[in-house]
Amino acid sequence: MPRDVPLGNGKLLLCFDGDCAIRDLYFPHVGQENHLNGNVCRMGVFVEGIFSWIDGSWRKESLYEEDTLVSRTDLYHERMGILITCRGVVDFHENVYVREIVVENLRPIRREVRFFFSHDLDISGNRIGDTAVFDPFTRGVLHYKGKRYFLINGMTERSDAISQYAVGIKGVGGREGTFRDAEDGVLSGNPIAQGSVDSVIGLHITLEGDSEGSAYYWICAGESWQEVRHLDGLVRRKHPASLIQRSKDFWTLWVRKEPLPQGHLSERIQEQYRRSLLILSTQMDSQGGILAGNDSDVIQYNRDTYSYVWPRDGALAANALDLAGYPSHAQNFYAYAASVVGDDGYFLHKYNPDGSLASSWHPWVDGPETQLPIQEDETALVLWALWQHFVLYRDMDFIKPLYRPLIKRAADFMVSYRDAETGLPAPSYDLWEERRGILSFTVAAVFGGLTAASLFCEVFGDGKQARTYRKAASQIRDGASNHLWREDLGRFCRMISRGKDGALEVDATCDSSLWGLFNFGVYNADDPRVMATMNALREKLWVGHKTGGMARYENDPYYRVDPRVTGNPWFISTLWLADHLISTAESREKLREAEELLHWACDHALPSGVMAEQIHPHTGAPLSVSPLTWSHATFVTTTQRFVTRAIQLEGRTPLPRREDWLGRLFIEACNAIHGSCKVK
């Protein structure tokens, strides 16, 4: 089930599904240590002998309040005759989740409504050695193991304590769990359990006929009993409603501080743009890592998740944040990247938020031969994005300590890691992590990374090294023109690789990532070869069914639901098509087609604004990870590109800072490299 509403602050992240259930709980890193491990923390209601967990029997809708990270879920149960509105937030500063529950009695008689909250935690990802205990000092229930503590508490309008509690054993000796104790409306009051444990707390509200009442529920996360007791006291002193309001005010100011220029985009696109920025913020760890996506349901697909830092995804997300006016978040990522890059100048597959090496399926050997298990575009894109950051913010003091350990080290690696015959980057794994060879996307990224490195060298007065990097970029472009452009296809190919006999073999698959050939400067967007390629991609990859949108590549098997369709529509693939339309538009009218693709992305997001990785080609339902950070980052980037181009077409300068001599350097450097190439 997709995660309709993620809420987080860089240390504590909770992800909710459409049933208002907590499905993922990460602490103290975003994306690392999921303390639910596939379990569910649910809310249930008991009225006049009727009990129901929030499930398909309820009419419900989960959204965010406008321009905030405050969730709102409306729930209606016809048989019970009640209407519930839940508002929730992870405090922007403290590691506390707070939920306000307002319940309306739709009948003219006095009734008691009992709310129950179940907690099925597997602390640190396993259910060995957990303890759940009633804490008489806070009058809440505490789950703990090692240095992970979660204190759960609540109050109502008329009582500052929970009404009931129970803790017990789950999954042992045929016992399903303490959550079953709630279903008769009365909890046992058992005060402690250890091992594989769960808990339930209850809050009671008595309502007059046709009236409403409210209750509050919260979770405090910390690394000691003392810390969570302190947080519990803070919630009570400030009051839960006050914490919700202050976080609402914070996020509204945060997302509105750099508004888009008016008059160029519909309000719907602007709303989704702001929502994408807010959702991006929930996927960023306080130590700088930007997570690809936090949705544990994908464990079912390959026993792993997207809760890792891929340098590629992080670099593209950081670039989106830079364009949107959030340089400090981007700086945190670049600093994180500098801390994990290897001594030889390349990034490995992916990393954990704490900087440790993450799981991988890329081998270090191919038969008897040793190989690097890398996706080289990841190394290149960090440098490319870092240059774009520097152009915007001129923060020399930030860049200086990164120059040698990150920029030069990575660029030196890219110069050396090349195929001797073609001059192209040596084989590595593709951005889709499925095949190894010389990918057009990787070639484009390395060109962009080396061009960026050459410009940094010029800034730091190292002209000799700048020339070395540009020469390598020129050779790479010549290699692309000679080997990746295929006259027989009339377009660029996806990949070349060497067969067993050493001869080059061509992978002619239409792949949306060929977008990179113009995006990173190898060719201009209006180059006839690029135009022919993008036209072919549109013809082959547009999903001609009800949903529309662009597939990732021809006959894509990942989450494929209909063999008659070439692949499921992806948000990033569709927005990459919009990027090309924007880059080649010569009039405002020509931009309209790109604007329609932005609207397509809005229309296929969940009602909360969450964008998945891909969608069902017939129903439009989200598939795979949801939300996907890359989808939201691409929406932000494409929107920024659209606005910039629209203003340029009006004959105005969008942002003078981006159009001065430094802002033009990358394009000028690319053009200079193009001119030095043997193949134009």
The gap from C-alpha 163 to its chain's centroid, in whole angstroms, comes to 38
Contacts of 403 (CB under 8 A, 6+ apart): 456, 460
Cross-strand bridge partners of residue 59? 76
Q: Tell me which residue has tokens 């609402």.
A: 248
| Residues 276, 605: Cα–Cα separation, whole Å | 10
Sort 369 into a burial class: Cβ within 10 Å, 0-12 / 13-18 / 19+: exposed
Mean pLDDT of the region 316-331: 98
Contact yes or no for 50/79 (Cβ under 8 A): yes
- pLDDT (average), residues 369-373: 96
Q: Hey, is 34 helix, strand or coil?
A: strand
For the chain, give the number of residues: 680
Phi, psi (rounded to 5 degrees) for 481: -65, -35
Instruction: Find residue 172's DSSP bridge partners.
Output: 175
β-bridge pairing 130-135 and 192-195: antiparallel
Q: Is the pLDDT of residue 503 over 50?
A: yes
Q: How far is CA 509 from CA 90, 276, 489, 512, 513, in A?
A: 44, 31, 10, 10, 11
Using CB atoms within 10 A of its CB, is residue 286 exposed (0-12), middle (13-18) or buried (19+)?
middle
Residue 170's pLDDT is what?
95
From residue 311, give the alpha-carbon distance in Å to each of 290, 356, 402, 431, 456. 9, 13, 16, 11, 20
Q: Token digits for 539?
A: 């013809």
Average pLDDT, the chain: 95
pLDDT in tens, 30-72: 999 999 988 999 999 999 999 999 999 999 999 999 999 999 9
Q: In the CATH scheme, what architecture does the domain 258-676 have?
A: Alpha/alpha barrel (1.50)
> pLDDT tens digits, residue range 516-536?
999 999 999 999 999 999 999
pLDDT value of residue 436: 98
Q: What is the pLDDT of residue 42?
A: 97
Q: How confident is the model over 162-213, as pLDDT tens digits?
A: 999 999 999 888 889 999 999 999 999 999 999 999 999 999 999 999 999 9
pLDDT of residue 303: 60
Q: What does the block give as tokens for 190?
A: 């058992």
- What does the pLDDT average to over 410-437? 98
Q: What is the pLDDT of residue 262?
A: 81
Whether the Cβ atoms of residue 494 and residue 440 lie closer than 8 Å to each other: yes
Statement: residue 654 has pLDDT above 60: no
pLDDT of 500 strictly over 80: yes
So what's the pLDDT on residue 659? 54
What pLDDT shows up at residue 302?
Answer: 59
Tokens of 52: 């129901």
pLDDT at 298: 67
Please state the domain extents for the chain: 5-254, 258-676
* Strands 491-492, 495-498: pairing kind: unpaired
What would the mean pLDDT of 246-263 be, rounded to a whole number?
A: 93
pLDDT at residue 613, as a whole number: 97
8-31 pLDDT per residue, tens: 999 999 999 888 899 999 999 999
Q: What is the pLDDT of residues 232-248, one digit of tens each?
A: 999 999 999 999 999 99
pLDDT at 505 over 90: yes
- Give CA angle at 21 (2, 31), nearest 5°: 60
User: Residue 652 pLDDT > 90, yes or no?
Assistant: no
pLDDT of residue 301 exceeding 60, the answer is: no
For the stretch 563-589, pLDDT in tens is 999 999 999 999 999 999 999 999 988
Per-residue pLDDT band at 656 (split at 50, 70, 90)? very low
Q: What is the pLDDT of residues 331-366, one digit of tens each?
A: 999 999 999 999 999 999 999 999 999 999 999 999
Give the CA diameter of the chain: 86
CA 286 to chain centre: 15
When pLDDT is cut at 50, 70 and 90, the band that residue 382 belongs to is very high
pLDDT above 90 for 662: no
Residue 653 predicted with pLDDT over 80 = no
Beta strands in 147-196 (DSSP E): 148-156, 164-169, 192-195
Whole-angstrom distance, CA of residue 15 vs CA of residue 33: 13
Q: How large a percentage of the chain has pLDDT more than 90?
A: 89
Instruction: Tell me which residue of 142, 149, 148 sits closest to 201, measured CA to CA.
Output: 142
Residue 471 has pLDDT above 90, yes or no: yes
Sheet holding 111-119, edge to edge: 50-53, 43-47, 111-119, 197-207, 164-169
- Whether the predicted pLDDT of 118 surpasses 90: yes
Task: Choose which CATH entry (3.40.718.10, 1.10.565.10, 2.70.98.10, 3.40.50.620) describes domain 5-254.
Answer: 2.70.98.10
For residue 390, the tally of other CB atoms under 10 A from its CB is: 22
- Of all residues in the chain, the percent with pLDDT exceeding 70 is 97
